[in-house]
Structure 1
Amino acid sequence: MEGTESRRMTPFHRALHRPQQIMGGERELTLFSMLVAGGLIVSAMNLVATVVGLVLWFFCLWALRHMAKVDPSLSKVYHRQLKYAHYYGPFSRPFRVAKSPRIH
Protein backbone atom coordinates (compact mmCIF):
# COMPACT_ATOMS: atom_id res chain seq x y z
CA MET A 1 0.00 0.00 0.00
CA GLU A 2 2.99 2.33 0.22
CA GLY A 3 3.08 2.75 -3.57
CA THR A 4 -0.42 4.21 -3.75
CA GLU A 5 0.22 6.81 -1.04
CA SER A 6 3.38 8.16 -2.64
CA ARG A 7 1.80 8.73 -6.08
CA ARG A 8 1.47 12.28 -7.22
CA MET A 9 -2.06 13.39 -8.14
CA THR A 10 -2.32 15.71 -11.13
CA PRO A 11 -5.61 17.58 -11.58
CA PHE A 12 -7.29 17.04 -14.93
CA HIS A 13 -9.44 20.07 -15.60
CA ARG A 14 -12.74 19.58 -17.38
CA ALA A 15 -12.19 22.55 -19.69
CA LEU A 16 -9.15 20.85 -21.23
CA HIS A 17 -11.07 17.95 -22.75
CA ARG A 18 -14.63 19.28 -23.09
CA PRO A 19 -15.86 19.31 -26.71
CA GLN A 20 -16.67 22.68 -28.25
CA GLN A 21 -20.43 22.82 -28.59
CA ILE A 22 -22.95 25.58 -29.14
CA MET A 23 -26.52 25.00 -27.99
CA GLY A 24 -25.80 21.27 -27.59
CA GLY A 25 -24.55 20.66 -31.14
CA GLU A 26 -21.17 20.61 -32.79
CA ARG A 27 -19.81 24.14 -33.03
CA GLU A 28 -19.06 24.33 -36.77
CA LEU A 29 -22.23 22.60 -37.91
CA THR A 30 -24.47 24.65 -35.62
CA LEU A 31 -22.96 27.91 -36.84
CA PHE A 32 -23.24 26.78 -40.47
CA SER A 33 -26.92 25.85 -40.07
CA MET A 34 -27.51 29.22 -38.39
CA LEU A 35 -25.77 30.94 -41.32
CA VAL A 36 -27.85 29.10 -43.93
CA ALA A 37 -31.14 29.77 -42.15
CA GLY A 38 -30.22 33.42 -41.57
CA GLY A 39 -29.20 33.81 -45.20
CA LEU A 40 -32.54 32.40 -46.32
CA ILE A 41 -34.45 34.76 -44.03
CA VAL A 42 -32.46 37.86 -44.96
CA SER A 43 -32.37 37.19 -48.70
CA ALA A 44 -36.12 36.65 -49.12
CA MET A 45 -37.32 39.23 -46.54
CA ASN A 46 -40.86 37.90 -46.17
CA LEU A 47 -42.88 36.00 -43.58
CA VAL A 48 -42.90 32.66 -45.41
CA ALA A 49 -39.10 32.62 -45.75
CA THR A 50 -38.78 33.55 -42.08
CA VAL A 51 -40.98 30.64 -41.02
CA VAL A 52 -39.19 28.22 -43.36
CA GLY A 53 -35.78 29.44 -42.18
CA LEU A 54 -36.69 29.07 -38.51
CA VAL A 55 -38.18 25.60 -39.05
CA LEU A 56 -35.05 24.59 -40.97
CA TRP A 57 -32.78 25.91 -38.24
CA PHE A 58 -34.72 24.26 -35.40
CA PHE A 59 -34.73 20.95 -37.27
CA CYS A 60 -30.97 21.19 -37.87
CA LEU A 61 -30.40 22.09 -34.23
CA TRP A 62 -32.48 19.10 -33.11
CA ALA A 63 -30.53 16.75 -35.41
CA LEU A 64 -27.16 18.20 -34.35
CA ARG A 65 -28.04 17.76 -30.67
CA HIS A 66 -28.87 14.10 -31.26
CA MET A 67 -25.63 13.66 -33.19
CA ALA A 68 -23.67 15.25 -30.33
CA LYS A 69 -25.26 12.87 -27.83
CA VAL A 70 -23.91 9.93 -29.82
CA ASP A 71 -20.45 11.45 -30.30
CA PRO A 72 -19.51 15.10 -29.74
CA SER A 73 -17.14 15.02 -32.72
CA LEU A 74 -19.18 12.80 -35.04
CA SER A 75 -18.68 14.87 -38.20
CA LYS A 76 -14.91 14.94 -37.71
CA VAL A 77 -14.85 11.16 -37.30
CA TYR A 78 -16.98 10.76 -40.44
CA HIS A 79 -14.71 13.03 -42.49
CA ARG A 80 -11.63 11.16 -41.28
CA GLN A 81 -13.30 7.87 -42.22
CA LEU A 82 -13.90 9.19 -45.75
CA LYS A 83 -10.30 10.38 -45.97
CA TYR A 84 -8.85 6.99 -45.05
CA ALA A 85 -11.35 4.85 -46.98
CA HIS A 86 -8.75 3.71 -49.51
CA TYR A 87 -6.56 2.36 -46.68
CA TYR A 88 -9.16 -0.14 -45.49
CA GLY A 89 -8.21 -3.68 -46.36
CA PRO A 90 -10.46 -6.10 -48.22
CA PHE A 91 -12.82 -8.26 -46.27
CA SER A 92 -14.52 -11.55 -47.01
CA ARG A 93 -18.19 -12.06 -47.54
CA PRO A 94 -19.90 -14.80 -45.51
CA PHE A 95 -20.68 -16.91 -48.60
CA ARG A 96 -17.41 -16.42 -50.49
CA VAL A 97 -16.09 -19.42 -52.39
CA ALA A 98 -12.31 -19.75 -52.20
CA LYS A 99 -10.51 -19.96 -55.55
CA SER A 100 -7.24 -21.13 -54.06
CA PRO A 101 -6.94 -24.65 -52.60
CA ARG A 102 -4.87 -23.27 -49.69
CA ILE A 103 -7.74 -21.08 -48.44
CA HIS A 104 -10.44 -22.95 -46.54
Structure 2
Amino acid sequence: MAAPAETRRMTPFYRALHRPQQIMGGERELMLFSMLIAGGLIVSALNFVATVLGLMIWLVCVHGLRRMAKKDPELSKVYIRQLRYANYYAAFSRPWRVGKSPRIY
Protein backbone atom coordinates (compact mmCIF):
# COMPACT_ATOMS: atom_id res chain seq x y z
CA MET A 1 0.00 0.00 0.00
CA ALA A 2 1.43 3.37 -0.99
CA ALA A 3 1.84 6.15 1.53
CA PRO A 4 -0.10 9.38 1.02
CA ALA A 5 1.69 12.02 -1.05
CA GLU A 6 2.24 14.40 1.87
CA THR A 7 4.15 11.81 3.93
CA ARG A 8 6.50 10.72 1.13
CA ARG A 9 10.06 11.89 1.39
CA MET A 10 11.35 13.85 -1.61
CA THR A 11 14.96 13.23 -2.52
CA PRO A 12 16.59 15.76 -4.86
CA PHE A 13 18.04 14.25 -8.03
CA TYR A 14 21.10 16.27 -9.03
CA ARG A 15 21.89 16.12 -12.74
CA ALA A 16 25.57 16.82 -12.17
CA LEU A 17 25.98 13.54 -10.31
CA HIS A 18 24.67 11.46 -13.21
CA ARG A 19 25.88 13.43 -16.21
CA PRO A 20 28.70 11.75 -18.19
CA GLN A 21 32.14 13.35 -18.00
CA GLN A 22 32.82 14.97 -21.35
CA ILE A 23 35.35 17.43 -22.73
CA MET A 24 34.40 19.41 -25.83
CA GLY A 25 31.48 17.05 -26.43
CA GLY A 26 33.56 13.85 -26.46
CA GLU A 27 34.32 11.18 -23.92
CA ARG A 28 36.80 12.57 -21.41
CA GLU A 29 39.53 9.90 -21.44
CA LEU A 30 39.60 9.49 -25.22
CA MET A 31 39.58 13.24 -25.82
CA LEU A 32 42.49 13.79 -23.42
CA PHE A 33 44.40 10.90 -25.01
CA SER A 34 43.93 12.36 -28.49
CA MET A 35 45.17 15.74 -27.21
CA LEU A 36 48.20 14.01 -25.70
CA ILE A 37 49.07 12.20 -28.92
CA ALA A 38 48.66 15.29 -31.10
CA GLY A 39 50.54 17.49 -28.63
CA GLY A 40 53.33 14.94 -28.37
CA LEU A 41 53.71 14.88 -32.14
CA ILE A 42 53.80 18.67 -32.34
CA VAL A 43 56.27 19.14 -29.48
CA SER A 44 58.58 16.29 -30.47
CA ALA A 45 59.05 17.44 -34.08
CA LEU A 46 58.94 21.23 -33.55
CA ASN A 47 58.33 22.14 -37.17
CA PHE A 48 55.45 23.52 -39.21
CA VAL A 49 54.60 20.27 -41.01
CA ALA A 50 54.32 18.33 -37.73
CA THR A 51 52.17 21.11 -36.26
CA VAL A 52 49.75 21.00 -39.18
CA LEU A 53 49.71 17.19 -39.13
CA GLY A 54 49.14 17.09 -35.36
CA LEU A 55 46.29 19.60 -35.58
CA MET A 56 44.69 17.67 -38.45
CA ILE A 57 44.92 14.39 -36.51
CA TRP A 58 43.45 16.06 -33.44
CA LEU A 59 40.56 17.63 -35.36
CA VAL A 60 39.69 14.30 -36.97
CA CYS A 61 39.74 12.66 -33.53
CA VAL A 62 37.55 15.41 -32.05
CA HIS A 63 35.03 14.99 -34.85
CA GLY A 64 34.92 11.21 -34.45
CA LEU A 65 34.76 11.30 -30.65
CA ARG A 66 31.94 13.85 -30.67
CA ARG A 67 29.93 11.66 -33.06
CA MET A 68 30.58 8.67 -30.79
CA ALA A 69 29.43 10.62 -27.73
CA LYS A 70 26.20 11.61 -29.46
CA LYS A 71 25.35 7.93 -29.92
CA ASP A 72 26.38 6.94 -26.39
CA PRO A 73 28.37 9.12 -23.96
CA GLU A 74 30.19 6.07 -22.60
CA LEU A 75 30.60 4.07 -25.80
CA SER A 76 34.22 3.01 -25.20
CA LYS A 77 33.35 1.58 -21.77
CA VAL A 78 30.43 -0.34 -23.27
CA TYR A 79 32.68 -1.70 -26.02
CA ILE A 80 35.38 -2.82 -23.57
CA ARG A 81 32.77 -4.49 -21.36
CA GLN A 82 31.32 -6.25 -24.41
CA LEU A 83 34.77 -7.62 -25.25
CA ARG A 84 35.30 -8.78 -21.68
CA TYR A 85 31.92 -10.57 -21.54
CA ALA A 86 32.22 -12.19 -24.97
CA ASN A 87 33.13 -15.57 -23.44
CA TYR A 88 29.96 -15.60 -21.34
CA TYR A 89 27.44 -15.12 -24.13
CA ALA A 90 25.15 -18.11 -24.43
CA ALA A 91 24.41 -19.78 -27.74
CA PHE A 92 21.36 -18.46 -29.53
CA SER A 93 19.30 -19.48 -32.50
CA ARG A 94 18.02 -17.40 -35.35
CA PRO A 95 14.69 -15.54 -34.94
CA TRP A 96 13.03 -17.36 -37.84
CA ARG A 97 13.91 -20.87 -36.59
CA VAL A 98 10.94 -22.94 -35.45
CA GLY A 99 11.69 -24.27 -32.00
CA LYS A 100 10.81 -27.74 -30.81
CA SER A 101 8.84 -28.19 -27.65
CA PRO A 102 11.13 -28.63 -24.65
CA ARG A 103 11.55 -32.11 -23.29
CA ILE A 104 10.59 -32.57 -19.68
CA TYR A 105 12.30 -35.48 -17.97
Number of the residue aligned with 1:48: 49
How many equivalent residue pairs? 99
Q: Among the aligned pairs, what percent are the same residue?
A: 70
Correspondence 1:34 to 2:29: no
Moved beyond 3 Å, runs of 4+: 93-96
Normalising to structure 1: TM-score of the pair?
A: 0.84
Indicate the residue corresponding to 1:22 in structure 2. Answer: 23
Unaligned runs of at least 5 residues, structure 2 = none
Between 44-53 and 3-12, the greater mean CA deviation after superposition? 3-12
Q: CA deviation at 1:95?
A: 8.1
What RMSD in Å do the two structures reach over aligned CA positions?
2.2
Q: Distance in 2 between matches of 1:18 and 1:95?
A: 40
Q: List per-residue Cα deviations over 1:18-43 (Å, max 9, x = no partner).
A: 11111111110000000000111111
Letter in 2 for 1:18: R
* Partner secondary structure for residue 19 of structure 1: coil
Query: What TM-score, normalized by structure 2, do the two folds share?
Result: 0.83
Identify unmatched segments of 5+ residues in structure 1: none
CA–CA distance in structure 2, aligned partners of residues 15 and 68 of structure 1: 17
